Structure 1
Amino acid sequence: MTQGRSIRLFLVDGTPHGLLTAEIMNWTGHVLTGPRGKLSELVQRPECGRTGVYFLVGPDAENSVRPQVYIGESDDVGKRLKQHNRTEDQGGKDFWEKVCLITSKDQNLTKAHVKVLESLLIQQAHRVGRCTLINGTRHDYIGLPEADQADMAFFLEQIRTVLPVLGFEFLRDASRLPPSRDAVEEMRDGFSEAGESPQFRLTFPKFGITAYGQELDGEFFVLEGSLARAEWTAPGHNYQRLYQQLLENGVLVEDEGGQRRFSRDYAFPSPSAAAAVVIGRSASGRTEWKREDTGQTYGEWQEQLVAEAADPRAKGA
């Protein structure tokens, strides 16, 4: 079973939309985030004078599905943020609305450390594909001792853990591999102790489409090899852009039968979003996805779980 973790959040000025700090128990990292409108207050904090990495985050005018992100590093983060706050013609950046910086409480992060960390973060953001990354080319920094490389890998994992809690999703993996079919078949009563869901199937016989999905960690994964409709058929729908984005990112590729095929597992925020992309129009994932073993809909399965949790006697009834 996954172990719980404690993250300490502090509202610096007592408001939910102001400056915010975050720390994870037994991690030396320290996170400070806030809106650009609070930059004058943020740069006065001691964290901004330390060595660290930072993210500039803002909306992408051409893509409402994902944000624009710039990842940087500096041995004086506050100085770099002041430069980024200038206008474009003065060498600054206009797109960003929020900033998030990560430093170390024990101040043991060096310039060499954050260069490696920046490179790892850019690589991760590219691989995940949840944002429009506006960095230039990524540099491969080597030369750190083996122990320091391991420390930076651990530091990266803590950053990936804490950022989604703060509303930054661009480093969260969208292609995590769900359990194998054998593991799914061995689950007791359709719900394992580890919390994995049973496997679901969506069929669209008219177009010869069959897709497979599974819920993990609060997201609905459509599994590699699943088929989807060749084109989106409902212009103006919210998920049309998502469908197009998956085409551009190579998640949906052309299949020999003329449909689209998922080239890898992909995580959706809901079963309805997953169903819409598979069918090519709006759809209710709660009714479209059905358990492979029993034919029970996703919605019925969830209702059963809630009933059993509320009244253990209902289990097996």
Structure 2
Amino acid sequence: MNQGRSLRLFLVDGTPNGLLTAEIMNWTGHVLTGPRSKLAELVQRPECARTGVYFLVGPDPDDNLRTRVYIGESDDVAQRLKQHNRLEEQGGKDFWERVCLITSKDLNLTKAHVKYLESKLIGVAISAGRCMLANGTAHEYVGLPESDRADMAFFLEQIRTVLPVLGFDFLRELIKPSSPVVESDGLAIQHSPRFRRAVPKEGGVAYAQEIDGEFFVLKGSQARAQWSGVSGGYESLFKQLVLEGVLTPDGPNHMQFADDYAFRSPSAAAAVVSGRSSNGRKAWVVDGTGQTYAEWQNQQLVGLAPGTDNK
């Protein structure tokens, strides 16, 4: 079993939509995040006068279904954020709505450390493929001694642990069903059974698996050639996947998934496959048994007595 972690959150002004700090036990890092509307308060915090890395996060102006992220570093983050807050034509950035700053409680992060972290974080974000990066071409920074690189590798893993808890998932590793089975703390990552969904009226079929809370439609699965449901809903997602080449033509009646694709829910996956709104909890069935996704999920609770710790 993976070992638990203790994360300390502090609402600076006592409200859920204001400034927030986060710390992990036995980690020297310190996280400060907040909305752009609170920037005047945020830049006055002592953390903003330290050396650190930061993220500017908001919807992608060219595709509102995606998140755009800028990753930066500075010796004086407050000054950099003031520059980013200018109008685009004045050298600022318009897209971002939230900022997240990572500094060190012991003040041991140097300019070399944060330049190294910035280059690694950009590489992780590109590899994860969960956001559109606003950064230009980034060069790998290697100007650190071996011992410092080891320290920064640990620091980076803590950043990747804490950010998803705060709602920033763009650094999360995308573990596809077709990827080799890996282990974490000695335990293999568990895959769900394979689910099946017939394409209505067209005779095609799609397959899916759930991994780490994400619902993947598998590479080679088929979907309806066109959106046939009412406008709205998942229609924009369907069209986006066609535009990005995730769905490619497969004869006159079908599209085909060019790669495994992670959806936020079984219903989103079922809608894209069906070309119309669909209840994924009923539409997806365990391949070979016909058990619905909802029935399979409920079966995980069968036999658990009330209050069972399940250790």
TM-score range normalised by the length of the shorter chain: 0.7 to 0.9
2:10 equivalent to 1:15: no
> SS where residue 96 of structure 2 aligns?
coil
Aligned residues: CA RMSD:
2.9
Return the letter of the residue paired with 1:262. Answer: F
Partner of 2:259: 264
| Counterpart contact for 1:63–1:241, Cα < 8 Å | no
Which residues of structure 2 form unaligned runs of 5+? none
CA distance in structure 1 between the aligned counterparts of 2:227 and 2:42, rounded to whole angstroms? 44
Partner of 2:176: 177
Partner of 1:157: 157
CA distance in structure 1 between the aligned counterparts of 2:296 and 2:218, rounded to whole angstroms? 19
2:192 equivalent to 1:197: yes
**1:116-142 superposed Cα distances (whole Å, 9 cap, x missing partner):** 221222222233332232221222222
Of 290, 304, 311, which residue of structure 2 is paired with 1:309?
304
| Counterpart contact for 1:2–1:194, Cα < 8 Å | no
> SS where residue 47 of structure 2 aligns?
helix
Partner of 2:36: 36
> How many Å apart are 1:81 and its aligned residue?
0.7
Of all paired residues, the percent bearing the same amino acid is 66
| Counterpart contact for 1:219–1:269, Cα < 8 Å | yes
Partner of 1:245: 240
| Counterpart contact for 2:199–2:223, Cα < 8 Å | no
> SS where residue 303 of structure 2 aligns?
helix
Partner of 1:102: 102
* CA separation of 1:263 and 1:312: change in aligned 2, threshold 3 A: farther
> How many Å apart are 1:167 and its aligned residue?
1.4
2:59 equivalent to 1:59: yes
CA distance in structure 2 between the aligned counterparts of 1:208 and 1:52, rounded to whole angstroms? 55
Aligned residues: 304
CA distance in structure 2 between the aligned counterparts of 1:108 and 1:263, rounded to whole angstroms? 46
> How many Å apart are 1:240 and its aligned residue?
2.3
> How many Å apart are 1:80 and its aligned residue?
0.6
* CA separation of 1:274 and 1:112: change in aligned 2, threshold 3 A: same
* CA separation of 1:215 and 1:275: change in aligned 2, threshold 3 A: same
* CA separation of 1:153 and 1:237: change in aligned 2, threshold 3 A: farther
Return the letter of the residue paired with 1:154. Answer: F
2:283 equivalent to 1:284: no
| Counterpart contact for 1:198–1:291, Cα < 8 Å | yes
CA distance in structure 2 between the aligned counterparts of 1:182 and 1:171, rounded to whole angstroms? 20
2:214 equivalent to 1:219: yes
Instruction: Name which of structure 1's ranges 93-102 and 60-69 shifts more when overlaid on structure 2.
Output: 60-69
* CA separation of 1:168 and 1:228: change in aligned 2, threshold 3 A: same
| Counterpart contact for 1:276–1:283, Cα < 8 Å | yes
| Counterpart contact for 1:68–1:131, Cα < 8 Å | yes
